[in-house]
A = this chain, B = another copy of it.
Amino acid sequence: MTDAATNMRLKLPAACLILQIILIILFGALVEYDDHTDAKKWHEHMKNTSTTDADNEFYYRYPSFQDVHVMIFIGFGFLMTFLQRYGFSSIGFNFLIAALALQWATLMQGFFHGMHHGKIHIGVESMINADFCTGAVLISFGAVLGKTSPVQLLVMAVFEVILFAVNEFILLTTLGAKDAGGSMTIHTFGAYFGLMVARVLYRPNLDKSKHRNCSVYHSDLFAMIGTIYLWMFWPSFNSAVAAHGDDQHRTAMNTYYSLASCTLATYGLSALTAHDGKLDMVHIQNAALAGGVAAGTAGEMMLTPYGSMIVGFLAGIISVLGYKYLTPLLEEKLKIQDTCGVHNLHGMPGVLGAIVGAVTAALATKEIYGDGMADVFPDVASGDVEAAFQGVRQAISLAVTLGMALLGGLLVGFILKLPIYGAPPDTICYEDSIYWEVPGEESAHEELTTVRTEESEKLNS
């Protein structure tokens, strides 16, 4: 796996520029503004439907989109800066692969979500969905953080986006499952895909870089920026593509309570399990978010506030226990080196969320949902299926997702194992300076002393 040729002079420009040019050509051939973004079509639409500019989808979705956007670029990016010398790569590669993935996802999702006379129609909802797909890629990135080259990550993104779109199509269109916040499509898929890639890319000699696989004081503070933004905006994430009205509203609120409850569970479990009763930043940074993941499927359903709190509570507990007991086992027994512990933050809570979604769906009744049933479970409302069967669909969707993620990760892992991408050697993992011009650190301190002396002399004179 080690590869001396980590120089990116030609590989990275070739990958970036060729991929971008291909994207431009495909967008030119296939992509059009939708009815809400096209000048002509929107004005015709308003005339035909007697609506006004206020009804443009932009006003229903754009604030949620921006919150999701912050989660993708600030949330995921800074969450991964916890490593002491990998901040540039964490934010920088997150930025790069997200910029690729959101364009590529627009095409892939557009293709599967249904073409209009051979064209993909895009607007704010497709932008949110593209960001969602990007989120799955970034979750997988978390599993291999510090051990991959940027070219390898771009290649991973290209393949993962395709598989994500296929899985999402199977779940939402073929199986008729509901997954507004993506417990299955985003979190479970992204986590198990990434874990399988990490498995294939297993490095037996990674302990040579072990001393860098930890945080320093300031890197943990930077990571908390990511954590808090993810935590705050998760209600927007889960509700961003839910149906208008009560659905968006309820999803946001359920997620809010799930996260609050999860946070208390996380602090409790962290102090209980960590050394000397002290809190562990790894738990706080990650496990406190598990409540958002676990409310991803059932958040739009009538989960009730206390139901949401129970889900968040359980998610926080299993997530901390995962970090404490499961992650070391995964590495030792299954040879999965999961840098960020995505199994604990996205994997297990995603599966929990899928199960909660299946159960909640199976229990849906007309008494509870009233006319709102048509928004949440259209097939149940129309009488096509029973609520219990909707639950079965949800359960099957989880199984499909796990299968797609594991098989896809296996396949893509082997593609990424080819010794052509300039991956870092085992001795220089978790280290920015291999791919970045890194400035010094000490100079500032020496400098400071000199300046102060100079300056006070100056001012005193």
Contacts and interface: CB of A to CB of B under 8 A. Distances in A.
Interface in A114-167: 122-124, 127, 150
A204 interface: no
A267 to B, nearest CB: 5
A13 B230 CA distance: 24
Contacts of A278: 8, 435-437
Contact of A73 (B7, B16, B219, B232): B232
A115 B313 CA distance: 26
A46 to B, nearest CB: 8
A446 to B, nearest CB: 10
A455 B88 CA distance: 17
A372 B275 contact: no
Nearest to A87: B221
Nearest to A24: B309
A69 B245 CA distance: 21
B264 A17 contact: yes
Interface in A423-461: 425, 427-428, 431, 433-445, 447-448, 451-452, 454-455, 458-459
Given A277-B8, A439-B215, A427 B444 contact: no
Contact of A43 (B246, B249, B263, B267): B246
A247 B39 contact: yes
Interface string A79-106: 0010011011001100110011011000
Interface string A40-66: 111110110000111111111011001
Contact of A211 (B217, B247, B441, B443): B443
A27 B228 contact: no
A132 B373 CA distance: 33
A434 B43 CA distance: 58
A205 to B, nearest CB: 15
A275 B243 CA distance: 50
A85 B7 contact: no
A389 interface: no
A261 interface: yes
Interface stretch (A280-288, A330-338, A341-349): A280-288
B281 A88 contact: yes
A212 interface: yes
B228 A95 contact: yes
B41 A370 contact: yes
A128 to B, nearest CB: 11
Given A10-B277, A264-B99, A59 B58 contact: no
Interface in A207-223: 211-212, 214-222
Contacts of A44: 370-371
B443 A441 contact: no
